[in-house]
Structure 1
Amino acid sequence: MQVRFDLKEWDRKARALGATSKQIPYALATAMTWTMRETVEAEKKALSTSLDRPTPFTQQGVGFTPANKGQLRFEVFIKDRQAAYLGINVAGGTRSPVGAKVLATPFIKRNSYGNVGRGALKALMGDRRRVFSGKPKGKNRPAGIWRRTNENTTIRLLALYSPSMKYIVRYDFPAIFEATVRSTLPDKVTEAVMHVMARFAMHEGTKGPG
């Protein structure tokens, strides 16, 4: 997702405010960095509210690359490790995980983030004589975790395995990025021009007479 602006327009705006050719790259880079920070915060806020109890690791998944006077562009992105599982929430679609996904039942405790931890599965599978994992023979029953009951004459489903899951778009990262940048950057350019001009003036004032 890219949002493009005409830098010549910002250049003209900066000059109209009194900025010099030397000051303009600093001002535009500053405006972009300020905009980047607001965009990162908007993405983090949306991430925490769009998903069901995201873990701290997931909430740390928004990365960024700031602008500088020689590179008048910035990036806001989902880090690679988080993108491996967040991408389906951004784009939607069907995911077929490596190995079956466990759909929790009342017999499996979820952690505080709503996930089924390995410890819960290990505890459920503790009694290997009565509990097994897989697809039972006969009757076309689904794959899952099953408990043998009634002296091994019947079985009871404890958790279901799903080979794929369908996801709707829950975290619209591109839309949040574009909306925040377009609503923020124009005003930040004006603020940054005035800020940089003031800093240059302060710096020149500290030099004193030559």
Structure 2
Amino acid sequence: MPDIKGLHKTLFAIRKQIPFATAQALTSVARQIEQAEKKGLQRQLENPTPFTVNAVRSTAARKTNLIAKVFVMDTAASYLDPFEFGGPHKLNGKALLNPKNIRLNKYGNLSRNKLAQLKANPNDFIGTVTTKAGKSINGVWQRRKGRKVKSRRKRSPNGERRERKKQRAPKLLLRFGNALPVKEHLDYFARANKMAEALMPSALSQAMAEALKTAN
């Protein structure tokens, strides 16, 4: 029966295409989720760096390995973790660096070697300064130049020299503090699961249709 044989041949060809079609569908959905997660980072975080956004990657599935992955590179994942699961910001050092009177890069962050540059500047120092209000602040400070005196100070009526003006208070550049709790939430996993559930049926259907054309 030629019709039965032809049908059997077609079904056999389709069966051979199923792993390839499934891999294509998985990869297509993974790529879409990757782009959506990148946009999610840009929406939820304030001016994120390209390094952070591009840390979201995806890997393709293959017919011999029907797994497609969407993931975040380890370095970025370590400091993005509290934005998904909650908790305090991750600190690069022992304290949170809170910029006060210092230039930041275009992403609103300290440059990588900024702290080292400040330490090397003889006009800057790290320590605790007590303000006029009696508050102790620990951080990086900049010594200020004394005010210029136009004329030599005269003696007071009793013959004693008048007190010199006190040295100007140092300027706070960076304040050291404790890690603050993260307020933003990325919804990374919720977004990925929702998209996978919504996109996979149509992606698989389309891939199988293409496989059927190839089989014929």
Query: Normalized against structure 2, the TM-score is what?
Result: 0.72
Count residues with an aligned counterpart: 182
Matched, 1:66 2:66: no
Contact 1:36 1:74 in 2 (8 A): yes
AA matched with 1:196: A
Tell me the distance in 2 between the aligned counterparts of 1:154 and 1:161: 18
Equivalent pairs: percent with the same residue?
Answer: 30
Matched, 1:174 2:189: yes
Tell me the distance in 1 between the aligned counterparts of 2:90 and 2:138: 15
Tell me the distance in 1 between the aligned counterparts of 2:110 and 2:88: 20
Query: CA offsets, 1:90-130, max 9 Å, x none?
Result: 2221135223222112x21111111022565566566524x
AA matched with 1:157: L
Contact 2:14 2:211 in 1 (8 A): no
Tell me the distance in 1 between the aligned counterparts of 2:140 and 2:77: 29
Task: Give the alignment's Cα RMSD to 1 decimal.
Answer: 2.6
Tell me the distance in 2 between the aligned counterparts of 1:143 and 1:96: 19
Contact 1:39 1:180 in 2 (8 A): yes
The within-5 A match list for 1:21-100 is 21-95=15-89, 97=91, 98-100=93-95
Contact 1:25 1:69 in 2 (8 A): yes
Tell me the distance in 2 between the aligned counterparts of 1:142 and 1:183: 52
Tell me the distance in 2 between the aligned counterparts of 1:33 and 1:156: 54
Tell me the distance in 1 between the aligned counterparts of 2:99 and 2:130: 22
Query: Normalized against structure 1, the TM-score is what?
Result: 0.74
AA matched with 1:116: L
- DSSP-derived class of the 2:136 partner: coil
Offset at residue 39 of structure 1 (A): 0.9
Which has the higher Rg, Structure 1 or Structure 2?
2
The within-5 A match list for 1:1-210 is 20-95=14-89, 97=91, 98-105=93-100, 107-118=101-112, 121=115, 128-129=122-123, 131-136=124-129, 139=134, 141-148=136-143, 151-152=166-167, 154-201=169-216
When residues 80 and 71 of structure 1 are mapped into structure 2, their CA distance, relative to the original with a 3 A threshold, is same
Listed as ranges, the gaps of 5+ residues in structure 2 are 1-10, 147-165
Contact 1:134 1:145 in 2 (8 A): yes
Listed as ranges, the gaps of 5+ residues in structure 1 are 1-17, 202-210
